[in-house]
């Protein structure tokens, strides 16, 4: 019996035991990007804000006119692109992660309450969600930043406060079905408190969509931050951010492609890595997919 079982099982079993490519790739890319961001002051060859007008718009070093001391070229003010990407990562990743965490905290909490308790709590929370959905978030962000003044903290707050509805809606929808499942009724019949029902029985079963939304939102937040920066509401120049570099480089796309391409690649790689990692995390957390 065990011989045949061995013969049938191996394909799936071995695939499970092997470390997932998605996880390794996603995690290592994130570690490299994160590490580069953390150690940017040590790694960056130049001061990211230093302008060298004699060396404006130099292409990457492997191209004609490229300079060895500027591996990824320079921008229209002669600033080193590599140094700016390294420093920009600190802002973009930091702001993105904090904003996603904050908006997930708000959204998941309110979504759980709305879905689980229903009734008036649900009606109230979901009407607030509707209001937030009805107002264009950029407009809302503009208003708040104008009122509070642009600063890093305000940008993060605004991003979280305008995006929590994404979490709230998904979580509420999931909780509505989870709370009707028998194991929740069973847990209630065993005398569990409402808080414990929520945290141990409902929330863990709603984790999958939360993780998926969080990875998508992280990508969104990086873009969102650049949009705010582009409008002059986000992080103020000369502090470099990926989004700001991207929008700045847009004007030179025809003549100097490297201005927009490298920060764009940085954003793309980060988002890809986060999504792969989130994908893997979701599969790993779902016990039904474990063999």
* Residue 90 tokens, joined: 């600190």
Q: Give the DSSP per-residue string, 220-267.
A: HHHHHHHHHHHTTSSSPTTS--HHHHHHHHGGGTTT-THHHHHHHHHH
Instruction: Answer yes or no whether residue 65 interacts with another protein by CB under 8 A.
Output: no
Do residues 74 and 86 make contact, with C-beta atoms less than 8 angstroms apart?
A: no
Instruction: Answer yes or no whether residue 187 interacts with another protein by CB under 8 A.
Output: yes
Q: Which of 1, 14, 18, 191 binds another protein (CB under 8 A)?
A: 191
Query: Among the candidate windows 68-76, 196-204, 229-237, 269-277, which touches another protein by CB under 8 A?
Result: 196-204
The residues, any chain, with a CB within 8 Å of residue 241's CB and separated by 6 or more, are: 88, 91, 92, 95, 225, 226, 229, 234, 235
Q: Which of 185, 199, 265, 268 binds another protein (CB under 8 A)?
A: 185
Instruction: Answer yes or no whether residue 53 interacts with another protein by CB under 8 A.
Output: no
In the region spanning residues 198 to 257, those forming contacts with another protein, defined by CB under 8 A, are 200-201, 204-205, 207
Q: Torsion over CA of 286, 287, 289 and 291, rounded to 10 degrees? A: 150
Instruction: Answer yes or no whether residue 181 interacts with another protein by CB under 8 A.
Output: yes
Query: Among the candidate windows 15-23, 73-81, 129-137, 190-198, which touches another protein by CB under 8 A?
Result: 190-198
In the region spanning residues 97 to 136, those forming contacts with another protein, defined by CB under 8 A, are none
Write phi, then psi, for 140 (nearest 5 degrees): -60, -45
* Residues contributing to the site for another protein (CB under 8 A): 181-183, 185-193, 200-201, 204-205, 207, 285, 287-288, 290
């Amino acid at each position: 019996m065990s011989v045949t079982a061995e013969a049938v099982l191996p394909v799936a079993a071995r695939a499970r035991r092997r470390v997932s490519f998605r996880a390794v790739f996603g995690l290592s890319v994130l570690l490299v990007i994160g590490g580069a961001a953390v150690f940017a002051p040590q790694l960056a060859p130049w001061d990211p804000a230093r302008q060298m007008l004699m060396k404006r718009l130099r292409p990457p070093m492997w191209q004609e006119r490229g300079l060895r001391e500027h591996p990824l070229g320079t921008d229209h003010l002669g600033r080193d692109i590599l140094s700016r990407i390294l420093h920009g990562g600190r802002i973009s990743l930091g702001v993105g992660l904090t904003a996603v965490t904050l908006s997930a905290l708000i959204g998941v909490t309110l979504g759980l309450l709305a879905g689980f308790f229903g009734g008036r709590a649900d009606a109230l929370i979901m009407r607030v969600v509707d209001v937030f959905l009805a107002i264009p978030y950029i407009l809302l962000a503009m208003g708040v930043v104008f009122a509070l003044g642009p600063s890093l903290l305000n940008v993060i707050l605004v991003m979280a406060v305008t995006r929590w509805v994404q979490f709230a809606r998904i979580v509420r929808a999931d909780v509505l079905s989870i709370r009707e499942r028998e194991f929740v009724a069973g847990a209630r019949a065993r005398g569990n408190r409402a808080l414990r029902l929520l945290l141990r029985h409902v929330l863990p079963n709603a984790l999958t969509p939360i993780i998926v939304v969080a990875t998508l939102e992280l990508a969104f937040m990086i873009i969102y931050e650049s949009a705010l920066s582009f409008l002059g509401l986000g992080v103020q120049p000369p502090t470099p951010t990926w989004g700001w570099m991207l929008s700045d480089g847009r004007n030179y796309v025809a003549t100097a492609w490297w201005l927009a391409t490298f920060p764009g690649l940085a954003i793309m790689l980060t988002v890809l890595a986060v999504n792969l990692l989130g994908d893997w995390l979701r599969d790993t957390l779902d016990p039904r997919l474990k063999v």
